[in-house]
Structure formats: C-alpha cells, structure tokens
C-alpha cells in the first residue's frame, strides 16, 4: 500500500478545496480527507527544530512497524494479512477513515508534548517486543537443540534409550565402558585398531550396539586411567567418542525436558503472536498520527499563521502515480518557493535558514507532501 499525504492552502474553505482535489484526481486515485486538528504551535524556531525531529521519528516508527510485521510473518508462516489490523480495521480502511485520537493525544497539549508522547509509546513497545522476542528465541533454540538430540545421526543424537544397561560395565572401581560412533567406512579399521590405541584396553570388548545410515555405535571397555588418552587417539583415527554416562532414569528425564520445552515454546509463541498483533495496530496508528504531525508542522512553516490548509490522503492507481503528481503540480505549482506566498515577511526571515521539507525529503513539491509506503508482501 502507498498513500501520499498532501496539504495545500484552503483559502478559508477546506471542504471546497478537498472536493476540487478529489474531482481532479477522480479518474486516477482515491482521495480521502486527512483531518488534522489544530494544536498549540509555540514559536517558529521551536517548530523548525520539531520538523527535523519528526523526520527521525518517522523513520524509527516505520522501522518498528516493519519489525512487528516480520515477527507476525515468521510466526504465522507468511499468512499475516489477517493479523495486520488497526482497531479491527484493515490498513486501507484505517488510513482512509483516519481520525485524530483526541482521547490519547489531547489537542490542548503542545506539538512537542504530543510528539514526545508518541515516541515514548513506540519506544516502550519496542523494548517490550525486543525482550519477548529474545526470550522466545532462546526457548526455541533450546527446544531445537533437544529435538536435534532426538533426530540426529549416532555421532550427535542422544544415546538414552539406545545404550542399555547390559552394554556397560557399571560400579567398577577400575574399568569403564566408552561409547564410540564409528563411520561405516571405518568399521574394519576400528576392529583392527581399538585394542592398541592405548594400553589398558580390554581385548575383544568392542560390541556394535546399533547403526544408522552413517555410523555404527560401538562399545569398548578400558581402564579409567586411560580414558582421556584413548579418546584423544580415537579422534585422531576419525572415531567419535560420545560423552555418555548410563542412567536408567535419563530417558524419562530427557522426554520430560522435551515436553516441558515444547510447552514453553508454544506458550511463548502464542504470547508473542498476540502481542505482535496488538502492538502492530498500536504502532501503525502512532505512525499515522506522526505523519499527521509532519503535515501540520510543515504546513504552518509553509503557509503561515493562522493555520488554513486542507490535507488529503491520496491512494493512486499504481499506473497513474505520475499522472496524479502532474495534476497536483499543475494545480498548485503557483505556490512556488519554499515558504509559500502566505507567510509574512517576518516569518520568512525567522526560518530562512531552514530548508523545510526539501532538506528532509527528496520528493519536494511546491506544496506539502509526504508518503507512507508499506508492503507487507515484500517482507514475507
């Protein structure tokens, strides 16, 4: 989706100005009123500073929206369109019917206060989502590690349930049983060499327990004092000693850990999905309110005081975006210079050092113009 927010002088008649724009663009775009209330303005110097800050906040809010979209996409296997709602409305419905939320953002507050409130809300959501996402990622990684132990080959998978009690020498003061994964191509080499890799290896103690497509699992009984040396020599021969200690309860413990980890992962995923869905709507709404502030601030700097401008949201048919731009420039190109004809001489002198929208936006026009571009499908 792409919307262009435009503001032009209303000359005392906002409704007629809106109808004129809508009529001229009727064949090429949908045009909606982008109603922005009046705010406490303060000094022009403060307004110039705020204009520059709003550029940074705009980029940060967009980044927050995209992060939440990425979370929804990854958790919902790409089918996130039905989750991208604002106040139970689709994004297009919300933008086209936008109304300033006076309950959350009171118009008797200064522009700076309102901007700070918006930024605080978005920052708080960012911090919450970062924390929740990190916790979920850690749980998911732990679960995947447990699952790999269940499904890998014999060189990595858990041996609980595979190696039985009868395969091991237990409760011996001097002897211990090692479990070694041997590549299938090295069976003969293993059988010829394991007894002589070190001293103190029990002859003919190697038994093949099982095998998979890549490895066979062998036992070997050695004296405990040579375990480290034997393992070192075995690795040099490309045999893989497994770190294993027989425990008759280990299989049940492993299964319980897996089930608990699966449950935790599902619960955290559900919570993350719920928070991402809710916060997406909140942050997208904040972003649209910030766009409204940018339009308002820039319009005051362009057209002067008292505020008298008409702002609209335009959704152009992609084939006619250039045509819409040409029509608007033809209609309002008379506005000419950076400051517009309506700004008083003193106001001009106060803000001559500020390039207004042109310094922050490559799409400078003789009227105020900002864009909102959001393509959820490209983020899948």
Please name the residues in contact with 71: beta carbons below 8 A apart, sequence gap of 6 or more.
Answer: 129, 133, 272, 273, 276
For residue 76, name the pLDDT band (cuts at 50, 70, 90).
confident
Residue 331 is assigned to a structural domain of this protein = yes
The last residue of a domain, from among 188, 213, 245:
245
Please name the residues in contact with 222: beta carbons below 8 A apart, sequence gap of 6 or more.
Answer: 175, 176, 178, 198, 200, 201, 202, 205, 230
Query: Average of pLDDT values for 150-161?
Result: 88
Question: How far is it, in rounded angstroms, from Cα 376 to Cα 91?
Answer: 11
For residue 342, name the pLDDT band (cuts at 50, 70, 90).
very low
Position 358 scores a pLDDT of 45
Mean pLDDT is lowest, of 32-41, 60-69, 163-172, 346-355, for 346-355
Residue 253 is assigned to a structural domain of this protein = no
Count structural domains, the chain. Answer: 2
pTM > 0.85: no
Question: Does 6 share its domain with 130?
Answer: yes
Q: What is the pLDDT of residues 197-226, one digit of tens each?
A: 999 999 999 999 999 999 999 999 999 999
Question: Does 135 share its domain with 12?
Answer: yes
Q: Which of 80-89, 102-111, 148-157 has the highest average model confidence (pLDDT)?
A: 102-111
Q: What is the CATH number of the domain that holds 339?
A: 1.20.1460.10
Position 148 scores a pLDDT of 82
Position 183 scores a pLDDT of 97
Question: How far is it, in rounded angstroms, from Cα 338 to Cα 352?
Answer: 9
Q: What is the CATH number of the domain that holds 217?
A: 3.30.70.100
Q: What is the pLDDT of residues 8-29, one digit of tens each?
A: 999 999 999 999 999 999 999 9
The last residue of a domain, from among 245, 273, 293:
245
Position 379 scores a pLDDT of 52
For residue 117, name the pLDDT band (cuts at 50, 70, 90).
very high
Question: Does 268 share its domain with 126?
Answer: yes
Position 17 scores a pLDDT of 96
Residue 83 is assigned to a structural domain of this protein = yes
Q: Which domain holds residue 358?
A: 2-139+264-373
């Amino acid at each position: 989706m792409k919307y262009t927010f435009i503001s032009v002088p209303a000359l005392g008649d906002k409704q007629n100005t809106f109808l004129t724009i809508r009529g001229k663009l009727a064949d090429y775009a949908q045009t909606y009123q982008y109603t922005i209330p009046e705010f406490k303005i303060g000094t022009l110097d403060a307004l110039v500073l705020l204009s520059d800050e709003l550029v940074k906040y705009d980029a940060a809010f967009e980044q927050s929206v995209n992060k939440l979209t990425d979370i929804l996409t990854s958790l919902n296997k790409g089918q996130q369109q039905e989750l991208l709602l604002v106040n139970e409305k689709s994004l297009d419905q919300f933008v086209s019917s936008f109304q300033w939320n006076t309950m959350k953002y009171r118009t008797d507050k200064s522009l700076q206060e309102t901007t700070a409130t918006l930024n605080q809300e978005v920052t708080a959501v960012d911090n919450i989502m970062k924390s929740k996402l990190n916790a979920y990622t850690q749980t998911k990684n732990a679960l995947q590690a447990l699952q790999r132990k269940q499904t890998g080959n014999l060189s990595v998978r858990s041996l609980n349930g595979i190696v039985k009690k009868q395969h091991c020498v237990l409760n011996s003061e001097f002897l211990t049983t090692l479990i070694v994964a041997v590549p299938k191509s090295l069976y003969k080499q293993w059988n010829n060499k394991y007894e002589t890799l070190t001293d103190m290896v029990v002859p003919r103690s190697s038994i093949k327990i099982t095998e998979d497509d890549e490895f066979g699992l062998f036992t070997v009984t050695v004296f405990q004092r040579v375990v480290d040396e034997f393992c070192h020599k075995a690795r040099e021969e490309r045999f893989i000693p497994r770190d294993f200690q027989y425990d008759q309860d280990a299989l049940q413990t492993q299964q319980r850990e897996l089930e608990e980890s699966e449950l935790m992962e599902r619960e955290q995923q559900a919570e993350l999905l719920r928070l991402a869905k809710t916060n997406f709507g909140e942050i997208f709404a904040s972003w649209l309110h910030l766009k409204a502030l940018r339009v308002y601030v820039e319009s005051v700097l362009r057209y002067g005081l008292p505020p008298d401008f008409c702002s609209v949201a335009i959704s152009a048919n992609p084939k006619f975006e250039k045509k819409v731009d040409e029509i608007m420039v033809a209609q309002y190109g008379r506005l000419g210079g950076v400051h517009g004809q309506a700004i008083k001489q003193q106001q001009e002198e106060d803000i001559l050092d500020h390039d207004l929208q042109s310094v922050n936006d490559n799409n400078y026009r003789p009227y105020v113009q900002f864009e909102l571009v959001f393509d959820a499908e490209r983020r899948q």
